[in-house]
Every structure is written in C-alpha cells, then in structure tokens.
Structure 1
Amino acid sequence: MNICMAHRGWSGKAPENTLAAIRLALSEPGISAMEIDVQLSRDGVPVLIHDFTLERTTTGSGLVMNHTLEELRALDAGSWFGEEFSDERIPTLEEALLAVKGRLTLNIELKATSDMYPGIAEKVLELLEKHDMKQEVYITSFDHDLIRQVRQLDQEVVTGLIVLGRPVLMLEQMEEAGATILSMGYPYLTRELALAAMDKGYKVVAWTLDDPRDIRTVMSWHADMQICTNHPDRMLALI
C-alpha cells in the first residue's frame, strides 16, 4: 500500500516543522509517515527547522546555529503562516519524538553536514535510544558522509540518502553509504530507477508531490512507493 508521508508535518494546513503541523498529521489515520528537518541550536540541542536562517519561518534573523535554544524558543514560528498560529514555537526533536512515538514512522532529515554541526548524529541517536524509538524512524540527509557516520555509530537505525538531481551510479552510492532509503526529488525520479531500487530491497520516497496528477502517477509505479507531500488530503482522496 502506498505510504502517505506528511512533509514537515501537515505543512499545507499549519506552519511547517511545528507541533501544530505534527498534531494535524497525527489526527489523520491515513498518514503513516512524517518528515521533519533537524538542526542544532548553538548550545547543541536538536531542533526542528528547515532553513539555515530564521527569517522565512520565524520572527528572528540570522543563522539557526548562532542562537541558543532559549533564544530560539522566544521566537514566533507560526504567524508567518497565519495569525492563529502565533503561539507556535520552534520545537525540539525530543518534543516531536514524544508526540509521534508509537503512532507513525518519522523521517528525520539532518539539515547539515558533519562539519557544520559536529555531533548532530550522536545527539539524535542519543534521543532515539532514550525514548526507545530506533525502530520507528528513518534518518536521512543530503550529506553521504553524515549518513555513513550514523551507520558507523548505530547499525540498527534505518538510514537514507536524499537526492535532488539524477546522479550516476545512484544505487552504488546507496550501497556504499549503507543506506536503504532512496529519497529523491520527484522531477528527477523515474519509474525505472524506483523499480530498480526496490528490486535491490530499498524503499523509495518521492518528494515533494502536491499535484494530484503527479501523485497518481507515482502511486501507479509500485504499491510500496512512499509519497512525501505538503497536502496529504490530496493523496488520500486518490486512495
């Protein structure tokens, strides 16, 4: 059965990467996976935010990494989407884990390189260990070295490579990184590549699909395709 994955929570209905968006996704039984973005505060706490800078989705400015958790938590992370979300704050990863535990699969994207956020892999894995959630998540990243680092630290956690483009030897890169999830931007993903990856035992996530015609197309490729969307309702209407 095709997997409906809510992108940054239900970001079509609530501000992305907030507890409001997470709760909305949890309220819909048809959503069985959720993607979130994780960075570190200046004092080393994993937090949910996509951009490396604060301006687009908060009332703050500057780099996320230059602000302590206390400073980040003081920002309004919801009014940009709608005044009714003015009380939303940047959540910690731990808050997100506690919200989703036992309810769906969480795709944790590490928005970093290992050099940009030293220790990010260890800190995320520590939280997964603390809350006994290693079997409930994927850890994914554009940075292959970071995924290799996660694999070296913990063989239990499922890992994936995020790809925008159509690299040569894609499946060989997956094997070299020890990843079992291929998360690829839909404009570059073909049915042939998706099926070839699945034949090797990999899971395939297509992102970010919001047009029902595109969603229907990818659903038709294989029953196990995972579709990451800002608008899960559009996909669920087709199932």
Structure 2
Amino acid sequence: MYVGKNCCVAHRGWSSKAPENTLAAIQLAMSEPYISWIEFDVQLSKDGIPVVIHDYTLERTTNGQGFVREKTYAELSQLDAGSWFSPAYAGEKIPTLENVLDLAGGRLRMNIELKTQGNMYSGLEEAVIDHIYRYTLQHDVVLTSFEPKVVQRLKRLAPELRTGLITEMPSPDYVAVCRSLGADFLSLYYPLFTKQNAAALVQQRIGIMAWTCNHTKDIIQVADLHPELMICTNYPDRWNMAIGEGKEG
C-alpha cells in the first residue's frame, strides 16, 4: 500500500473505470498498490440497512425510481446499478456497507461519507459506527458528512473515531470551523486549499483531503500545497502519472 506523499483516494471507488459506489469500482481500486484509500457514500434503506449509494434518488445510477429511503433493502438489492455505466457491468448491485467492509476491510483505508440532510436518516450514525466496530476498523476509517450536526453527533457517539466535515464553503479559519465541531479531518473542495490553510490545519493535527481532482494539472497543483494533503479523484491512474510511482520524467 502506498503511504507516501499526497496519498491517492479513489472517489466512489475507481469511478472512471467502473460504476461508482459498486463492488466492481472498489475491486478495481484494490488492484493497484498506489491506491491507499477509497471514498464512498452511505445511506439507509427503509428497513435501516446501510447501503452504498450517492444520490438520494435511484434514477441516475440504477434502473429503479424513487428515493433510496423509501425502499427496503430487499427492493434495492434487485436493482441494476451497473448498466447505466456500461453493458459490461450489467447486473452490478447496490452494495451494503457490510459488503464493502467484507471486501476491502483491512486492505484499504476508507473515507465513509454519511449522505444525509437534516433528519432524513435517524440512526444512520449509530448504524455506521456499529459496523466499524464489528469489523474492528476504527483505525482505518474517517467518517465524514456535509452536515455539521452529523459530524458533532458522530464525535459524541464515538469520540475515538476520526470524524470530518465536508465543505465547499470559503472560510478564513478552517481550523476554527473544525474545532467547533470536534472534527479532526477536513474534506474541502480542492480550489479552496492554499499553502497557508493546509499548513495551519496540519499543524493542528487535522487531516486534510481535497476533492475532487480529476485533471492532471489540478492534481499537480494541489499536491504542491502540502505533502499531507490527500487527493480524492475519479482517475487514480492520472494521480499515478502526475505524482505517483508512474510519473514521467
């Protein structure tokens, strides 16, 4: 596993080569030693099963319709989550969080985004935390969310786990933002990082990740800001050619 400068995070698995948030995309990420992290999204089915899917609705990435939260896991498990991407992935399923942990636990570190708004998913934090401890992955994950209240709740429920805010909002003091939530990780839209704020965050022992860098020039520029700045991308191969072991020159 690559553990050097600006580690590569495969966004929703290797989502430029396989349908996002599927076991196929995660399996591809596991195939390259320079990919040390994956990022993926978790919601709850109607019957409370943590499932890995980004959108709140099913239309874009499956052959289903309606809201994820309105379907039982039995219903979700019947959907095709691969054909939209390519006929080669016809029949790919929406995985459960358990499926992903079974596959990648202990082999890749994981940035797990709790995908929710307001009070959409009562019990989501507890369900994810329970899975992390059952698989003894508490040292291999960071739990993140766009929702500040979710970040705070995660830290209250499991203070020893790494928790982080995801944001694309400018701020003059991201350290203060994180401290106010008890967050020890910041997942920030990549154009908002500077050498100054990256250094300030690392100095305060707050982990940093830039999303989503898909162009080679952006990957290079972001990597130059700080060596500990993780780079989340749909194109891990571009990361490798830009700054990894496969870089040219």
State the TM bucket, normalised to the shorter chain. over 0.9
**Secondary structure of 2:117's aligned partner:** coil
Equivalent residue number for residue 147 of structure 2: 143
Which segment drifts farther, 167-176 or 24-33? 167-176
1:99 aligned onto 2:103? yes
Equivalent residue number for residue 116 of structure 1: 120
CA deviations on 1:173-206 (whole Å, 9 max, x unpaired) are: 2001111111001122222211211121111100
Identical aligned residues as a percent:
46
- Contact 1:26–1:100 (Cα < 8 Å) also in 2: yes
Q: How many residues get paired?
A: 239
Aligned match for 1:41, one of 42, 45, 50: 45
1:219 aligned onto 2:223? yes
**Secondary structure of 2:98's aligned partner:** helix
Aligned match for 2:136, one of 132, 141, 146: 132
Equivalent residue number for residue 11 of structure 1: 15
CA deviations on 1:93-118 (whole Å, 9 max, x unpaired) are: 01101111111210000001351100
Which segment drifts farther, 63-72 or 188-197? 188-197
Q: Which amino acid aligns with 2:63?
A: T
Note the residue ranges of structure 2 that are not aligned, 5 or more in a row: 245-249
**Secondary structure of 1:134's aligned partner:** coil
**Secondary structure of 2:94's aligned partner:** coil
Which segment drifts farther, 153-162 or 16-25? 153-162
1:171 aligned onto 2:175? yes
Equivalent residue number for residue 203 of structure 1: 207
Distance in 1 (CA, whole Å) between partners of 2:56 and 2:157 is 25
Which segment drifts farther, 160-169 or 4-13? 160-169
Q: Which amino acid aligns with 1:177?
A: L
Aligned match for 1:59, one of 46, 58, 63: 63
Aligned match for 1:72, one of 76, 86, 111: 76
Distance in 2 (CA, whole Å) between partners of 1:15 and 1:236 is 21
Q: Which amino acid aligns with 1:174?
A: C
Equivalent residue number for residue 185 of structure 2: 181
Distance in 2 (CA, whole Å) between partners of 1:114 and 1:130 is 27
CA drift of 1:166 comes to 0.6
**TM-score, structure 2 as length reference:** 0.94
